[in-house]
Structure 1
């Protein structure tokens, strides 16, 4: 089928973001679950994503990798889902916060988790300044309205919201009331719940998974 979508993923990965986005789009898709160190590094998958990581999607013969790119691509490919704001301030905010999360936010959270301390006089080199500054800016972003691009949910919320949800769950982000309210709002979405249930089920079915 011309619009068949294949998702390469693992339930313990950023592939959860891509599945959530696919559920929001509402188009049929197939799933291929890959294992770290084996099928994810096998020649067949490296031909799809030479980085040997997930997620990746294949749509109409085109490969898209990187979770933020997958969210943006699917929103554009299926405009009827209404996940891209119209031109204007909302669309500007959409791109701003989508790429803020893919850049400064992810870098700051990763460095903190790895206990990488950036000297104050070298903060300009890392592109995010400091972890505290990133948290303050993110808090402002999710406090202005119900969603990061305004009053309507968009693909940017899938990506930003996933980072906040993971950060709160794993303790890699500060538990601020604004983050918790935003996370609760997104977790109530049917598409989020369908995606989470599917990935949780895969985890439970895996060898050594939860009962």
Structure 2
């Protein structure tokens, strides 16, 4: 049995979208981030699964994973027939490069923004850092542009789970009102038209 604990369009949405793309049976449990009340991420029961009290938390039988990119890759491995994760050596290396780029570079300005606007205690926030995060994100998109080139999808002419990682991060950027070039907006809208994305959206309503 697969159970995904998540909240809205946080990082857990990547995992939810991947589950829908893979066509796997799962249960989705919405949780309240930061709450120590029932279904909260700070309850004793939840902290036993995820010691940081964050989302996502992914449970498959005895396996517990709490990092979104790792979960997305694991889901892809459960459905190898779809080729969501390339198997050829060079293609897999290029796929991994995008996955690591999203986590280490592309999403970091957005998370820095979130931390210093609402996520961390007031006394630790540095509001003056926000403009720098916009500059960093624009720089990151330029680098991603070179990696993608003229390809339809991030890793070529076939959809992979790297597209989920990039698209969900662009959604995050839209919500935070970052400037996104038109070509990336077009790419994002194409990803949002996928039936699995639509089903994942229905699951969080």
Structure 2: distance between partners of 1:195 and 1:149: 22
TM-score (structure 2 length as normaliser): 0.83
Deviations 1:117-163 (A, max 9, x none): 799xxxxxxxxx94442121123334431111111111111111100
Instruction: Specify the SS of the correspondent of 2:76.
Output: helix
1:184–1:131 distance in 2 versus 1, CA, 3 Å: closer
Give structure 1 stretches of 5+ with no counterpart: 120-128, 202-211
Instruction: Specify the SS of the correspondent of 2:156.
Output: coil
1:9–1:155 distance in 2 versus 1, CA, 3 Å: same
2:87 aligned with 1:86: yes
Shift of 1:93: 1.6
Equivalent residue runs for 1:72-111 within 5 Å: 72-111=73-112
Shift of 1:72: 1.1
* Superposed CA RMSD: 2.1
Instruction: Specify the SS of the correspondent of 2:107.
Output: helix
Residue in structure 2 matching 1:18, options 6, 15, 20:
15
Q: How many residues align?
A: 187
Instruction: Specify the SS of the correspondent of 1:8.
Output: strand
Instruction: Specify the SS of the correspondent of 1:40.
Output: coil
Deviations 1:73-94 (A, max 9, x none): 1112321232111214322221
Equivalent residue runs for 1:118-133 within 5 Å: 130-133=136-139
- Regions of 4+ moved over 6 Å: none
Instruction: Specify the SS of the correspondent of 2:27.
Output: strand
